[in-house]
Amino acid sequence: MCGIVAYIGSKVARPILLEGLKRLEYRGYDSAGIAIIQNGHLSVQKKIGRVANLEAAIEGKPGFDGSLGLCHTRWATHGGVTDFNAHPHTDDRHGIALVHNGIIENYSALKTYLQERGHTFNSQTDTEVLAMLIGELYEGDLEKAVQGALREVTGAYAIAVICEKEPDVLVCARKGSPLLVGIGSENEYVVASDGAAIIAHTARAIHLDDYNVVKITREGFRTTDIHNTALSPKVQQLELELEQIELGGFQHFMLKEIFEQPKSVRACLGGRMDMREGRVVLGGLAAFAKDLTKAKRVILTAQGTALHAAMIGRYMLEDLAKITCTTEYASEFRYRNPVIEENTIVVAVSQSGETADTLAALHEAKERGALALGVVNVVGSSIARETDAGVYLRVGPEIGVASTKAFIGQVTVLSLISMHIARKRFMSADQCLDMMREMEAIPAKIERILEQSQRIKRITEKYVERENWLFLGRGYNYPTALEGALKLKEISYIHAEGMPAAEMKHGPIALINEGLPAVFIANKGRQYEKVMSNIQEVRSRGGHVIAVATEGDTEINKHAQDVMYIPEVCEPLSPMLAVVPLQLMAYYAAVARGHDVDKPRNLAKSVTVE
């Protein structure tokens, strides 16, 4: 939610800022804005809509050719989607401009205080309050004013600030929301919410920590905390390739990422399965081997797609490792006073590693003495840094707002963790080997499903006008049904419900009318016959059944109007195949309906507010 880019150097800042902002658009795209200092004068432009609108608005406009500036793409929280509420926000005295990602929780009290001191506000945002507060405290030293203001605020922020009166200074700070300082070779610095906006310029960067304030000039930078104590942050190498964040011939990032899934699973498995010893090797968990062996309970916590992956992980941990396991929305876990007994492990599952709800749940779990593990994609993200240990997904940057390859990566890692723990408890080397061979075969099996994409597209287009869909599955594929429904909702704005196939007859069956599309995950497995009965219940009420079935199952054609086949696979790993046709269905439905697949309305890739 919300992306920030700032630049100071010797080049014209505008193209660097706008290019970076386009790469961060997945973080929010309600509005965009830019502020540039040229010849000691501040120019600001804000526009609702996409970065392209902003670009057009400043095309050829004077004042935007300086080499110091900042910009922002917004996902609205406080205040509607208007030009006024867009960032940057400015103060009313010194020509200060600020962009912000996060929420200033005590903005209302601060606003009253500032109004009493004669400041007038133009927007309804919490961010404008911070800009005004910095202005109120400004006495000729921007760094000092920012530190002072941040001592007064509560909440979360990643900010970049410039001031007309100091035309060679950029000040940035972070608490709770991510911010990286990219260090270029020719006295230039690109600051951004994530590496995607930096990597075209440099791979050397600093991940700011909470309460870090950095003052950057063309001569260098210094980092302090908000009390002005000097710090020495570590310069790291960004593990990101430019091609990973480009479309590479695909029409949308979502489609590219769906097609990348075989590669994602291979990358995720790489070096983690010891086929000679029949065991899973997870370096990140090595120091906690004893805790894993004696664990009595695992709580998997996440939001959205990551929660669906966690639900599959739960089935595996209980099935394979025989540990009591529960899953929970992080947002609920955080606030319901959970009981955490001794030997409990809490696993935070998150693509971005920045989801505020998941981060808050993690803090709560640590506070109550649990061992906190992370299953995270983004290296160096907040969750990755705050957990005691963890396992990275290694699927590369996911840019499509609707999560696909991260889901596959999360299920892969959770399978590995389950096998790793199982092997320490009940699983024999041979059983582990069998499962690892199944894992190894997954990428090629996903490739076989992807080869059917045109057929899946044709099936989807038959039903795309329908406004209500059901997704049904049992056992390991109940979470897959939830994920199929979520994908369809997110990008095609079709109402879809996912549920256990058996639950349908306890209420949702009332929804079935002539032609309602019901997608059943009906692969061969323990519950196949039962799923067939549920299919009959839909058919006899006029619903249209689209089945995800196992290759070679000819019987299914008697029951379902349309069938999408997946290769044979062991049950615990079947969601990794069954989800692929559902992802493709959602994608083709959104394209057929003319939606912007990578930027669905109202959503943000990473939600950094609770």
3-class DSSP assignment, residue 254: helix
Written as one letter, the residue type at 134 is I
Among 301, 305, 327, 331, binds ligand G6P (CB under 6 A): 305
Closer to ligand G6P by CB, 284 or 397: give it. 397
| Binding residue (CB under 6 A) for ligand G6P from 45, 67, 382, 403 | 403
Q: Which residue is nearest to ligand G6P (CB)?
A: 304
Q: Give the residue with the Cβ less far from ligand G6P, 81 or 281.
A: 81
Nearer of residues 304 and 313 to ligand G6P, judged by Cβ: 304
Q: Please select the residue that binds ligand G6P; options are 344, 358, 404, 477, rule is CB under 6 A.
A: 358
30 vs 166, beta carbon nearer ligand G6P: 30
From the list 135-143, 198-206, 412-420, 602-610, the region that binds ligand G6P by CB under 6 A is: 602-610
Phi/psi of residue 410, nearest 5 degrees: -65, -45
Residue 77 found at the interface with ligand G6P (CB under 6 A): no
Would residue 2 show up in a list of annotated catalytic residues for this protein? yes
From the list 485, 23, 588, 580, the residue with the least C-alpha distance to 265 is 580
Residue closer to ligand G6P (CB basis): 95 or 397:
397
Tell me which stretch binds ligand G6P (CB under 6 A): 209-217, 298-306, 558-566, 569-577: 298-306
Buried b (16+ CB within 10 A) or exposed e, 139-158: eebbbbbbbbbbebbebbbb
Query: What is the Cα Rg of the chain in Å?
Result: 25
Look-up of token digits 């506070």:
367
Task: Determine the residue type at 102.
Answer: G
What tokens appear for 491 in the block? Answer: 């990008």
Nearer to ligand G6P, 365 or 607 (CB): 607
Cα–Cα distance, 421 to 285 (Å, whole number): 10
Please give the C-alpha separations between residue 270 and each of 392, 416, 498, in angstroms, as whole numbers.
12, 11, 33
**Residue 359 contacts ligand G6P per CB under 6 A:** no
Q: Residue 605 catalytic?
A: yes
- CA 218/CA 574 separation, integer angstroms: 54
For residue 304, state whether it binds ligand G6P (rule: CB under 6 A): yes
# chain residues binding ligand G6P, by CB under 6 A: 15
319 burial via Cβ count (<10 Å: 0-12, 13-18, 19+): middle
Interaxial angle between packed helices 107-116 and 126-137, expressed in degrees from 0 to 180 and rounded to the nearest 10: 50
303 binds ligand G6P (CB under 6 A): yes
- Residue 603 Cβ vs ligand G6P, minimum distance, rounded to whole Å: 5
Q: Which of 352, 382, 480, 534 binds ligand G6P (CB under 6 A)?
A: 352
Task: Render 492-556 in DSSP notation, one character per residue.
Answer: H--EEEEEEGGGGGGTGGGG--TT-EEEEE--SSTTHHHHHHHHHHHHTTTPEEEEEEETT--GG
Contact residue for ligand G6P among 104, 160, 254, 401 (CB under 6 A): 401
Could you give the strand order of the β-sheet that contains 495-500, starting from the edge strand earlier in sequence? 495-500, 468-473, 517-521, 544-550, 562-566
Q: Which of 306, 413, 421, 470 binds ligand G6P (CB under 6 A)?
A: 306
The 3-state DSSP class for residue 270 equals coil
408 binds ligand G6P (CB under 6 A): no
411 binds ligand G6P (CB under 6 A): no
Nearer to ligand G6P (CB atom), residue 294 or residue 363: 363
Set 2, 71, 163, 325: catalytic member: 2
Distance CA 599, CA 577 (A): 25
Of 351, 387, 404, 583, the one binding ligand G6P (CB under 6 A) is 351
Q: How far apart are CA 2 and CA 26, in angstroms?
A: 9
Residue from 125, 202, 350, 534 touching ligand G6P (CB under 6 A): that is 350
Using CA atoms of 274, 300, 294, 339 in order, give the dihedral in degrees to the nearest 10.
Answer: 170
Question: With respect to ligand G6P, which residue has the nearer C-beta, 128 or 194?
Answer: 194
Residue 31 vs 381, nearer CB to ligand G6P: 381
- Binding test (CB under 6 A) with ligand G6P, winner from 355, 387, 415, 608: 355
Among 206, 295, 566, 603, binds ligand G6P (CB under 6 A): 603
Cβ contacts of residue 410 below 8 Å, gap of 6+?
A: 305, 306, 309, 310, 313, 349, 351, 375, 393
Active-site position among 22, 405, 599, 605: 605
CB of 84 to ligand G6P, least distance (A): 26
**Span interacting with ligand G6P, options 104-112, 223-231, 571-579, 599-607, rule CB under 6 A:** 599-607
- Provide, rounded to whole angstroms, the least separation between the CB of residue 554 and ligand G6P: 36
Instruction: For residues 36 and 65, give the distance between their C-alpha atoms in angstroms, rounded to a whole number.
Output: 7
Instruction: Name 302's bridge partners.
Output: 329
Q: Under the rule (CB under 6 A), what is the footprint of ligand G6P?
A: 303-306, 350-352, 355, 358, 401, 403, 603, 605-607
Catalytic residue numbers read 2, 605
